[in-house]
Amino acid sequence: MLLADAASNPWSWNLLTDFQVMWSYPFMVNAFRAGAVIAVLAAAVGWFVVLRGQTFAAHTFSVVGFPGASGAVLAGVAAGYGYFAFCVGAAVAIALLPGSGKGRGEESALTGTIQAFLLACGFLFVALYKGFLGGVNSLLFGSFLGITGSQVLLLTVVAAVVLCVLAAIGRPLLFASVDESVAAARGVPVRALATVFLVLLGAATAEASQITGSLLVFALLVLPAATAQVLTPRPGLSLVLAMVIGLAVTWLGLTVAYFSPYPVGFHVTTFAFGGYVLARLVNVVRQASLVRRAPLLRSAA
Amino acid sequence: MTAVTSGIPAQTRTDTTGPVLQLRDAGVRVGGRTLWSGVQLSIAAGEFTAVLGPNGVGKSTLIKAALGLQPLAEGEIRVLGGAPGQAGRRVGYLPQRRSFDASLRIRGTDIVGLGLDGDRWGVPLPVPERFSPKRRAARARIAEVIELVGATKYAHRPIGQCSGGEQQRLLIAQALCRKPEILLLDEPLDSLDLPNQAAVAALIGRICREERVSVIMVAHDVNPILGYLDRVVYLAEGGAATGTPQEVITSETLTRLYGTPVEVLRTSDGRLVVVGQPEAPARHTDRHTPGAVAAAAAPAAEGAGRAAG
């Protein structure tokens, strides 16, 4: 049941049969479940990433996840554990870096250096693991094959914990993200929040990597949140919208990937990117119509 | 103030006639260097006070000390009769020169709202306002302070797309959300153009009078606020001079304070120009070096813009 074999999964235009066929495979159902969990988590955490301008940190964690995953496979463990261990480990390490008090530790040259070294380690692990060559692509660019029920459970538990913590610190974190000095003066523990958020981000990156691979993490982490924030400046609404967009692009990507010979990472990313471009266009049109309407309003008044 | 605010926890407004901010023999050291020491200071309730002095003398540090963010090296500081940092919601704070990133997609209203409950843990449940008097009250209070600063027209826009003056008004609204008794403002007129400086200065003066908030404002240039001030504090390394602007911004007082000849000139339209004021030793990076140096070098040309700072 190799999915890359497109001929075995023709799209029949009979939606009911198509979905029945697709969901008759347990791994496909697992992929949809895992995708939903990951999309919602990544969108929620990503919403703060976009707000805080921490996309470089997210990028670092995703790159660090690759040696974690390949190392785990080399050691005979599921790649997912490797993602978690390395991404969360990197988050703790960066939070402890000198100079991270300003929340910019992730941008230091040291981070870049370690990132490059770990990426090289990942490459070595792949080389050491003979016959793993086909797997490199899925580690880097994502795959939805072979997600087991127990993995879905692990993903769900981790996501639930991260979302609960995020909900608990949500409002002060928003305050500290947009207005750090006033938040600090109000007694918000700005530094502690930054550290906790980095760890949450590490966990979310590890989860997203398991669908999109290390290199396409932004498709779920950054793009839905960025799209939602372009569409509306209302914080609550754009947070919910980010989750909806994330879920939509993930499920769409999975469906199309099932019926096409091309990899899931490409489809998810393309849908997410398309949504972002569309949102920008909507915004441009909206603003143009506002400008056109403004003189009219003034003359009326 | 008005009935709409009933849902906000009632302010235990201690009607002290005592000072809102008091420093006794206070001194502060930052990075091994004494910024000021032996400062005696007492600021009464309901007054509009400006903190003045040359660059790097530690004006912002005084505000930080009042917030409890900067420990004193010596002496004592009391805010509203208690230790600094204990007054919590009774103190509103506007830090120096913040401008929001143009790409920040959060409404002005939300930024103001964070001033009300941004430090509370958890996220608000999406309960419709009809069923939550607390949320109604919060919303009314936010609308009220936004109206107070005259920002109603643009408060719904993403704050990154507001101009510097508009952002400053919204940030003042944020600081006012919880009905503070003291408003600590750190160079709120900095980086605004002249018309906006005059407008924001008038706004702060009005808030001080009408809302009966004690305003302590660090200023680089005393002239835009001169008409609203009750009191000025001139900081120097060895102490501070306090009094009405007429008493303090004089050649005699400043010469005595700095121990070096300082001349205060008055232009035909009533502006004050301070000439010969010493610069504090610049061992840290100065944020705005040109102002006072230029004023000393060419007071006539600089007089209109920069003075007393």
User: Which tens digits make up the pLDDT trace of B91-108?
Assistant: 999 988 667 888 888 999
Strands B19-30 and B33-44: antiparallel
**Rounded distance, CA B41 to CA B63, Å?**
13
> Is the per-residue pLDDT at B157 higher than 70?
yes
> Is the per-residue pLDDT at B144 higher than 70?
yes
Note whether B104 contacts A178, CB cutoff 8 Å: yes
User: Which tens digits make up the pLDDT trace of A239-298?
Assistant: 999 999 999 999 999 999 888 888 888 999 999 999 999 999 998 998 888 777 665 554
Note whether A236 contacts B126, CB cutoff 8 Å: yes
How many structural domains are present in chain B? Answer: 1
The pLDDT value recorded for residue B17 is 62
Nearest partner of B115 among B148, B133, B77, B142, judged by Cα:
B142
The pLDDT value recorded for residue B153 is 93
What ipTM is given for this predicted complex?
0.81
DSSP secondary structure, B238-274, as one string: TEEEEE-HHHHSSHHHHHHHHTS--EEEE-TTS-EEE
The pLDDT value recorded for residue A14 is 80
Contacting A with CB below 8 Å, chain B residues are: 67, 69, 85, 88, 93-95, 98, 100-101, 104-107, 110-111, 114-115, 117-124, 126, 157-158, 171, 174-175
Superfamily of domain A29-300: ABC transporter involved in vitamin B12 uptake, BtuC (1.10.3470.10)
**Chain A residues in contact with B123 (beta carbon < 8 A):** 167, 170-171
* Structure tokens given for B129: 């306002």
Measure CB to CB from residue B120 to each of A171, A234, A235 and give the nearest one: A171
Higher confidence at residue B9 or residue B25?
B25
Higher confidence at residue A36 or residue A93?
A36
The pLDDT value recorded for residue B258 is 83
Q: Which residues does B159 contact at the CB level (< 8 Å), separation at least 6?
A: B100, B104, B106, B107, B108, B111, B167, B170
User: Which tens digits make up the pLDDT trace of B108-124?
Assistant: 999 999 999 888 898 87
CATH number at residue B247: 3.40.50.300
A174 touches chain B (CB under 8 A): yes
For residue B41, report the phi and psi dihedrals to the nearest 5 degrees.
-155, 140
Note whether A178 contacts B174, CB cutoff 8 Å: no
Q: Give the chain A residue whose CA is nearest to the CA of B108.
A: A233
Provide the pLDDT confidence category of residue A99 given band limits of 50, 70 and 90. Answer: low
Q: Tell me the average pLDDT of chain B.
A: 81
Looking at the complex, report in whole angstroms how far the Cα of residue A164 sits from the nearest Cα belonging to chain B.
9
Q: Give the chain A residue whose CA is nearest to the CA of B178.
A: A186
User: Which tens digits make up the pLDDT trace of A175-224?
Assistant: 999 988 889 888 899 989 999 999 999 999 999 988 888 888 889 999 99
The pLDDT value recorded for residue A94 is 83
The pLDDT value recorded for residue A294 is 61
The pLDDT value recorded for residue B281 is 56
Give me the sign of the Cα torsion angle A123, A129, A134, A137. Answer: negative
Provide the pLDDT confidence category of residue A98 given band limits of 50, 70 and 90. Answer: low
**Chain A residues in contact with B118 (beta carbon < 8 A):** 171-172, 174-175, 179, 183, 186, 188
Rounded mean pLDDT of A117-144? 79
Rounded mean pLDDT of B281-286? 48
User: Which tens digits make up the pLDDT trace of B180-224?
Assistant: 999 999 999 987 888 889 999 999 999 999 888 999 999 988 889
Token pair 């009391």 is found at B78
Provide the pLDDT confidence category of residue B279 given band limits of 50, 70 and 90. Answer: low
CB atoms within 10 A of CB A79: 23
Nearest partner of A211 among A155, A259, A132, judged by Cα:
A155
Q: Tell me the average pLDDT of chain A.
A: 86
Does residue B273 fall inside a structural domain?
yes
What would you report as the CA-atom Rg of chain B, rounded to the nearest whole angstrom?
20
Report yes or no: B122 and A167 within 8 Å, Cβ to Cβ: yes
The pLDDT value recorded for residue A12 is 78
Provide the pLDDT confidence category of residue B292 given band limits of 50, 70 and 90. Answer: very low
Report yes or no: A13 and A19 within 8 Å, Cβ to Cβ: no
List the single best residue of B64, B94, B114 to mutate versus A (max A Cβ within 10 A): B114
Strands B74-79 and B91-94: unpaired
Nearest partner of A32 among A160, A152, A138, A162, judged by Cα:
A152
> Is the per-residue pLDDT at A100 higher than 60?
no
> Is the per-residue pLDDT at B16 higher than 80?
no
* Structure tokens given for B85: 């940092």
Provide the pLDDT confidence category of residue A68 given band limits of 50, 70 and 90. Answer: very high
**Chain B residues in contact with A53 (beta carbon < 8 A):** 101
Rounded mean pLDDT of A165-173? 95
**Rounded distance, CA A12 to CA A135, Å?**
30
Provide the pLDDT confidence category of residue B305 given band limits of 50, 70 and 90. Answer: very low
| Burial class of B286 by CB neighbour count within 10 A (0 to 12, 13 to 18, 19+) | middle
Higher confidence at residue A67 or residue B128?
A67
> Is the per-residue pLDDT at B300 higher than 60?
no
The pLDDT value recorded for residue A158 is 95
A99-103, B134-138, B278-282, range with the lowest pLDDT: A99-103
Looking at the complex, report in whole angstroms how far the Cα of residue A50 sits from the nearest Cα belonging to chain B.
9
List the single best residue of A51, A52, A179 to mutate versus B (max B Cβ within 10 A): A179
A232-236, B76-80, B96-100, range with the lowest pLDDT: B96-100
> Is the per-residue pLDDT at B293 higher than 60?
no
> Is the per-residue pLDDT at B32 higher than 80?
yes
For residue B50, report the phi and psi dihedrals to the nearest 5 degrees.
-105, 135
Note whether A182 contacts B115, CB cutoff 8 Å: yes
Q: Is B150 helix (H, G, I), strand (E, B) or coil?
A: coil
Q: Kind and range of the H or E element at B48?
A: strand B48-52
Does residue B307 fall inside a structural domain?
no
**Chain B residues in contact with A170 (beta carbon < 8 A):** 122-123
A189 touches chain B (CB under 8 A): no
